[in-house]
Amino acid sequence: MDEIGPGTLKCVVGHSPSRPLRSLIAEVLGPRVSEQDIRHLSDDALLAYSDASAADLRDWIAAQLGPGESVLVMEFERWSAFGPAADRRWLLRRGH
In single-letter form, the type of residue at position 61 comes to: I
Position 77 pLDDT exceeds 60: yes
DSSP 36-85: GGEEEEETTEEEEEESS-HHHHHHHHHTT--TT-EEEEEE-S-----STT
Confidence of residue 83 (pLDDT cuts 50, 70, 90): confident
CA neighbor of 64 nearest in space, from 94, 90, 30: 30
CATH architecture, domain 8-93: 2-Layer Sandwich (3.30)
**Section 81-87 average pLDDT:** 73
pTM for this prediction: 0.79
Domain spans in the chain, listed from the N-terminal domain onward:
8-93
pLDDT tens by residue, 17-48: 999 998 999 999 999 998 899 999 888 999 99
